[in-house]
Amino acid sequence: MSNLAAERRARLLEAMRRDGLDAVVVCGTSWQEAYLRYVADFGILEGNGVAILTSDGRCRLWLESVAELDRAQVEAKATEAHFARDIAQVVGAEIEAIANRKVAVMPRHIMPAWLATAERERNLRLDDAGPLIERLFLVKMPGEIEAIRRAAALADDGYDYFMEVARPGRTQYEVVADVEAFLRAKGSPDNFQIIGSGRADVRGMTPPSERKLAAGDMVTTELTPAVDGYFAQICRTMVLGHADGTQRKAFAVWLEALEAGIAAVRAGVTAADIARAENDVFRKHGLGEYCSSKYTRVRGHGLGLMPDMKPAILEDVDTVLEPGMTIIVHPNTYHPEAGYMVLGDVVVVGEHGCEVLTRTPRRLFEV
């Protein structure tokens, strides 16, 4: 077990003791694997997995895939991994055996239907440990912040390489594949990346397509590599050629909004305060409409064992920031004349401000 994984488990066990929990049941899928990774030190890629961690520190994991079992036995040696052809029957019986103790499930919102049925039919009482795990996700330990710091450095390197390989005539998927290979060679087994290319016709970023980059295109990307399971993200915009006056004028608004958002980050403020600081810049320049959900999703978000975590940076999210939280501030949205533009940096919340982890200059790059 890595030092970081051991620290996570010790922290979780302490939180369980504070809440009087005897055991937690954690569910994981390939699209929601952070909870399972936190508890069992295993990032699931295929099928479903369920782990039970008891207050004595014993962690057992059941997997539907034999291939996943083989991997878990190598990668998660401090967890007892088992194959379960009928995971509902096997894990249901294990939970029933400890039903007289205080047991909680995390997270309840991805609890499989069979477990909800078992809870009702077998008269099990499963408390909701969602708030417990969410708090552990939000406020990072020093080792977690260090992993994100290294991931942010890799994101900077990845963006440098992105600018090297993004050339007219190349398809979006060729460029992203090159970046993926670069990051894997640097030790990152996972990278979430979306891209956009074009001019005012581009209203967002998507997974890479067969669209070819062309001279004069504005090219945007959200690049998110992982180190030791922890993600860091960078958002930047470049032009293939020389930026025109419209693009430069628009980018100046994005830069002002990002700097306003980052200046607002400190312990005690809310996610809404940061979003408002960003959005007020757009409103000042007559672009307030483009802060709406019609044109953009969030003004930033949390980072950690997933590339997009709580809190969402929106004006209706009242989550209070605490020291040790890691977020990306990114005023990514559409401009009616220039097109979709992005700019974003990862920060660590401090008592009186924040530490910016990404080092790539905040400018409209010309390649």
Q: Please give the biggest Cα pair distance in the chain.
A: 69
142-366 is classed CATH 3.90.230.10:
yes
Q: Is 340 in contact with 220 (CB distance < 8 Å)?
A: yes
At 47 the three-state DSSP class reads coil
pLDDT at 57: 96
Q: Is the peptide bond before 107 cis (omega within 30 degrees of 0)?
A: yes
DSSP single-letter state for residue 21:
-
Note the pLDDT tens digit of each residue in 215-257. Answer: 999 999 999 999 999 999 999 999 999 999 999 999 999 999 9
> What is the rounded CA–CA span in Å between residue 364 and residue 78?
47
Please tell me the pTM assigned to this model. Answer: 0.93
Superfamily designation of domain 3-137: Creatinase/prolidase N-terminal domain (3.40.350.10)
Structural domain boundaries of the chain? Answer: 3-137, 142-366
Record the tokens describing residue 289, joined without a space: 């409409």
Cα of 317 vs its chain's centroid, Å:
17
Radius of gyration of the chain (CA): 22
Q: Percent of the chain beyond pLDDT 70?
A: 100
DSSP single-letter state for residue 312:
P
> What is the rounded CA–CA span in Å between residue 251 and residue 343?
9
Note the pLDDT tens digit of each residue in 175-191. Answer: 999 999 999 999 999 99
